[in-house]
Chain A
Amino acid sequence: MAALLVAALPFMACPLFASAADPAAGRNKAQVCAACHGAAGNSANPAVPSLAGQPAQFIATQLIMFREGNRKDPQMSPAAANMTNTDINDLAAYFSAQPLVSSARITAPATVAAGRRLSEQYHCVSCHGPALKGQQHIPRLAGQQLEYLRTQLRGFKAGTRFDMDGNMTSAAHALSDTDVAILADYLAGLK
């Protein structure tokens, strides 16, 4: 089959349409986020997630889900309500490029061993990557805030946390409360 190459034709810009992501613009737009998510996306609050080092597509997807109402949170729903797709892409590009500062917390060795076993048993690395640093639309778990991890896992288990394709709800279904506590502790202590 002969190849026939064609250049893209220019089209009318559409107000719904996002241009290529601009991390510098993202940095400006992210100033309001620091109050909860910390400086440069490194959260100091165990209940609030760090955004630094999260895959860009993950951040963009969650902001869109907050904006569209698929995922609901008392703070994030209003925060995302008026974001344009351009804003979202800029914020995602900015935060994903920020380094996640290693937390000082050390997980107890027994918990590390138990947590690793659970993460293998429940196939966490399948989606979240071999070092649980996330990929594409799937979040980084390594070094995330402990309390936040716990509430998300509990939410998936209860079927109340937004789930794009049902995979996390299925995955969390079999976790006991003890499993959730061990996993959250293990993940929070990963570098």
Chain B
Amino acid sequence: MQGQPPEMKGSTLAPIAPHLAGRPASGLPIDKLKVPKGFKAEVWTDGVPEARSLTLGDKGTVFVGNRNLKDVYAIIDRAGKREVKKVLKGLDTPNGVAFHKGTLYVAEQTRILAYAGIEDRLDNPPEPKVIIDGLPKQVGHFWKFLAMGPDGKLYFNIGAPGNIVMPGYIQGTIVRFNLKTAKLEEYVLGVRNSVGFDWHPKTKQLWFTEHGRDWMGEDMPSDELNVVKRKGEHFGYPYCHQGDTLDPEFGKYRSCSEFTPPVLNLGAHIAPLGMRFYTGKMFPAEYQDNMFIAMHGSWNRTVKQGYNVIRVVVDANGKAKSEPFLEGFLTDPKANPPAWGRPVDVLVMRDGALLVSDDYNGIIYRISYKK
């Protein structure tokens, strides 16, 4: 594979793919799921093949994107029963979904679409308005995470077009789009691929997860949790990984001191994806403004890790610490596959519960708390 050095040619490591038809929760060891004392983890709904990014409509509809499939699902909660509808189909890698003031925005591979008033028309959705077209078509990292910023701009990633390659100027970035002026700009650079980000409720700074490169060893480099202090910051890719390690090829003649290091190294090849700050009222007060991060789980490592949701706490000095929150998917770190489920995104619901999507099975879990 691209970037795989000759000395790793005998490796049996390979990417893990989701069950695209979905798997029923009834056939899975859901009782293995573990959460801290006082919390409960349960299946919220299955039957959402390749469930990936999550967003919440103004009327409580949960919209779900996917990546290898072409759909956006809408899930309506009617008196404790979930109704799952395939509301949009035929899209190209609709991984990014963001709902804002009545409109569902969807990020495809090369376009951003807007579906105004869709929550009232789930059985007959409106035609989309194409608000951005012509984004790069590329072989790798072409799926997007999409979110509306507190500044009213739409933010999304444009990943590096391969594992370890020199990206074009607009690639390996997080970009943002001003809906009023229809202008796009790079926000931050040197980001190999970020498929999860959110703004701190108080500081309004953007925090984002990032996947490091493959084929550099079991423990190298770590995937990252980063924070943006200003527009234009460069986070190191492809020159410097995890804040302190120069790339064997691209790091020649560079210094890691040129770039912004991560706030927290999350673990090598652990695949952090969606993340949200907790702003609900259900969980205990000490969870307020903490981050929940979905870890899809590693493939480029002989001892697999991740396959969970972690909680990240940032102290008054800006130092971050993580602890496990939802576990139980990983069954055998050395097996192939090592886990029965893979978290992708998290969503804070109106009642303060946390939803977790699992694209491996097409299932969404709900984590709640009771004193």
The interface of chain A, by Cβ under 8 A from chain B, is: 1-9, 11-14, 16-20, 57, 60-61, 64-65, 68-70, 85-86, 88-89, 120-121, 123, 125-127, 129-130, 135-138, 164-167, 169-171
Contacts and interface: CB of A to CB of B under 8 A. Distances in A.
B353 interface: no
A38 B10 CA distance: 35
B30 A7 contact: yes
Given A4-B37, A136-B16, 13 more contacts: A1-B34, A6-B40, A8-B31, A8-B42, A9-B43, A12-B83, A16-B49, A17-B49, A17-B362, A18-B22, A120-B9, A129-B12, A136-B336
Contacts of A13: 47
A22 to B, nearest CB: 12
B19 A60 contact: yes
B84 interface: yes
Contact of A4 (B2, B22, B41, B83): B41
A13 B83 CA distance: 9
A61 to B, nearest CB: 5
Contacts of A127: 14-15
A18 B9 contact: no
B26 A1 contact: no
Contacts of A12: 81-83
A138 B24 contact: no
A135 B20 CA distance: 15
In the A-B complex, the 9 residue pairs with the smallest Cβ-Cβ separation, listed nearest first, are A17-B47, A137-B17, A14-B47, A127-B14, A85-B21, A166-B139, A8-B30, A2-B37, A14-B84
A14 B24 CA distance: 11
15 contacts: A1-B34, A3-B34, A5-B31, A6-B40, A7-B30, A16-B86, A17-B24, A61-B20, A64-B69, A65-B20, A123-B1, A126-B14, A137-B16, A138-B17, A164-B68
A88 B69 CA distance: 15
The interface size bin for chain B is: 35 or more
Interface string B331-348: 000001100000000000
A64 B12 contact: no
A160 to B, nearest CB: 13
A126 B12 contact: yes
Interface of B: 1-2, 4, 9-17, 19-28, 30-37, 39-43, 45-47, 49, 68-70, 81-84, 86, 139-140, 162, 324, 336-337, 362
B140 A166 contact: yes
B139 A169 contact: yes
Nearest to B83: A12
A129 to B, nearest CB: 7
Contacts of B19: 57, 60
Contacts of A5: 31-34
A66 to B, nearest CB: 12
A120 to B, nearest CB: 6
Residue with the greatest number of chain B CB neighbours at <10 A, chosen from A69, A129, A165: A165
B11 A126 contact: yes
B14 A6 contact: no
A165 B159 CA distance: 14
A58 to B, nearest CB: 9
Contacts of A14: 45-47, 83-84
